[in-house]
């Protein structure tokens, strides 16, 4: 298990590098929150590009340091775009981030998510229900009946209930898994970290999870998957805590949050409360 001070210095280094190098992480993401994803990526110091077409997903893999795939609002063209993009990232050895939003809805989503398994995303980011369902779909923990628990895009499970699924997924991919909630869980399969902070208002605005995935991709362009995920999650928690000090309703909170993402320093991010235990 990694030491806490090593993790914190890794987070400072990752956040400093992102600010210094403006890494590009392209996205294929949902149409509900696409604007929030791009603006969050820019606010943390990265660069964004959103596409829909199959050859353009491959172009973004080649052009960027990492790529983000979010399953939110599938369109027919994604049947080709998503596998080609994931395969290109895997072949190029570039980190890619998967947000299995809406897992359990419809047959195309299930087929695409099942098909991603060999392409091993460096980071899987989801809410508790999504992480439990993905581990079941990939036959890693639980079983495929876990798919039926997903009711839509919001969680119906606790972060604690998704711990085993998250660890199993990380051991399979060799990367990192983040489960979002009041306290966020991040694991690489040997260490389990809990990052606290943020605000309940983050659950009252759509896209905090989606944009966190996009920010994790920006960090993955500059750091190993576990450090990148921890940095992204801590960045969200520190910005969420600060935004809640000035805004008390969803719309103004979202605006304040993007400002606080932009303002948070590498030390602020590394000093956000973090607890670790063995997986």
Ligand X SMILES: Nc1ncnc2c1ncn2[C@@H]1O[C@H](COP(=O)(O)OP(=O)(O)OP(=O)(O)O)[C@@H](O)[C@H]1O
Binding-site annotation, residues: 50, 125, 180, 207
Detail the residues annotated as belonging to a binding site for substrate.
50, 207
Size of the site for ligand Cc1ncsc1CCO (CB under 6 A): 11
Looking only at the bridges linking them, the beta strands covering 184-187 and 47-50 are: unpaired
Looking only at the bridges linking them, the beta strands covering 176-180 and 191-195 are: unpaired
Q: In the bound complex, what is the minimum distance in angstroms from residue 260's beta carbon to ligand X?
A: 13
What DSSP state is assigned to residue 276?
A: E
**Distances from the Cα of 95 to the Cα of 164, 175, 221, angstroms:** 23, 9, 7
Residue 30 interacts with, from ligand X, ligand Cc1ncsc1CCO, Mg ion, none (CB under 5-8 Å by kind): ligand Cc1ncsc1CCO
Residue ranges in 118-157 that form contacts with ligand X under rule CB under 6 A: 127, 153-155
Looking only at the bridges linking them, the beta strands covering 24-28 and 66-70 are: parallel
Compute φ and ψ for 107, nearest 5 degrees: -85, -30
Strand partners, 187: 177, 192
- Give dist(CA 277, CA 279) in Å, integer: 6
Q: In the bound complex, what is the minimum distance in angstroms from residue 212's beta carbon to ligand X?
A: 5
Residue 202 interacts with, from ligand Cc1ncsc1CCO, ligand X, Mg ion, none (CB under 5-8 Å by kind): ligand X
26 vs 102, which CB is nearer to ligand Cc1ncsc1CCO?
102
Q: In the bound complex, what is the minimum distance in angstroms from residue 95's beta carbon to ligand Cc1ncsc1CCO?
A: 21
Residue 138 contacts residue 126 (beta carbons within 8 Å): no
- Give dist(CA 216, CA 91) in Å, integer: 20
**Distances from the Cα of 127 to the Cα of 90, 131, 154, 177, angstroms:** 24, 6, 7, 11
- Give dist(CA 26, CA 46) in Å, integer: 10
- Give dist(CA 258, CA 228) in Å, integer: 19
Residue 175 contacts residue 225 (beta carbons within 8 Å): yes
From 2, 32, 42, 87, residue interacting with ligand Cc1ncsc1CCO (rule: CB under 6 A)? 32
Stretch that binds ligand Cc1ncsc1CCO, among 27-35, 174-182, 212-220, 266-274 (CB under 6 A): 27-35
**Distances from the Cα of 266 to the Cα of 59, 220, 224, angstroms:** 31, 16, 16
Tokens at 207, concatenated? 């896209």
For ligand X, what does the binding mask look like between residues 73 and 112, x meaning CB under 6 A? Answer: ----------------------------x-----------
Q: In the bound complex, what is the minimum distance in angstroms from residue 104's beta carbon to ligand Cc1ncsc1CCO?
A: 13
From 100, 209, 214, 266, residue interacting with Mg ion (rule: CB under 5 A)? 209
Residue ranges in 208-267 that form contacts with ligand Cc1ncsc1CCO under rule CB under 6 A: 210
Detail the residues annotated as belonging to a binding site for ATP.
125, 180
Confirm or reject binding of residue 101 to Mg ion (CB under 5 A): yes
**Which residues of this protein are in contact with ligand X, per CB under 6 A?**
101, 127, 153-155, 180-182, 184, 198-200, 202-203, 206-210, 212, 236-237, 240
**Which residues of this protein are in contact with ligand Cc1ncsc1CCO, per CB under 6 A?**
30, 32-33, 72-73, 101-102, 153, 206-207, 210
**Which residues of this protein are in contact with Mg ion, per CB under 5 A?**
101, 209
């Amino acid at each position: 298990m990694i030491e806490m001070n090593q993790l914190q210095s890794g987070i400072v280094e990752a956040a400093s590098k992102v600010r210094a190098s403006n890494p590009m992480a392209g996205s294929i993401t949902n149409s509900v929150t696409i604007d929030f994803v791009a603006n969050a990526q820019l606010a943390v110091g990265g660069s964004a590009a959103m596409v829909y077409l199959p050859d353009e997903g491959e172009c973004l893999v080649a052009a960027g340091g990492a790529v983000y795939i979010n399953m939110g609002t599938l369109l027919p063209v994604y049947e080709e775009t998503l596998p080609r993009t994931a395969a290109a990232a895997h072949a190029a050895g570039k980190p890619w981030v998967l947000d299995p939003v809406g897992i359990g809805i419809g047959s195309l989503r299930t087929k695409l998510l099942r098909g991603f398994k060999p392409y091993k995303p460096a980071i899987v980011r989801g809410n508790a229900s999504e992480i439990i369902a993905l581990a079941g779909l990939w036959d890693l923990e639980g079983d495929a009946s876990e798919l039926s628990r997903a009711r839509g895009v919001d969680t119906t499970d606790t972060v604690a209930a998704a711990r085993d699924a998250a660890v199993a997924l990380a051991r399979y991919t060799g990367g990192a898994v983040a489960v979002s909630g009041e306290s966020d869980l991040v694991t690489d399969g040997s260490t389990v970290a809990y990052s606290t902070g943020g605000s309940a208002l983050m659950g009252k605005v759509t896209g905090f999870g989606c944009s966190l995935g996009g920010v994790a991709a920006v960090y993955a362009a500059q750091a190993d998957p576990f450090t990148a995920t921890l940095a992204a999650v801590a960045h969200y928690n520190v910005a969420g805590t600060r935004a809640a000090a000035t805004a008390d309703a969803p719309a103004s909170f979202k605006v304040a949050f993007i400002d606080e993402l932009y303002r948070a320093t590498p030390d602020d991010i590394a000093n956000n409360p973090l607890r670790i235990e063995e997986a």
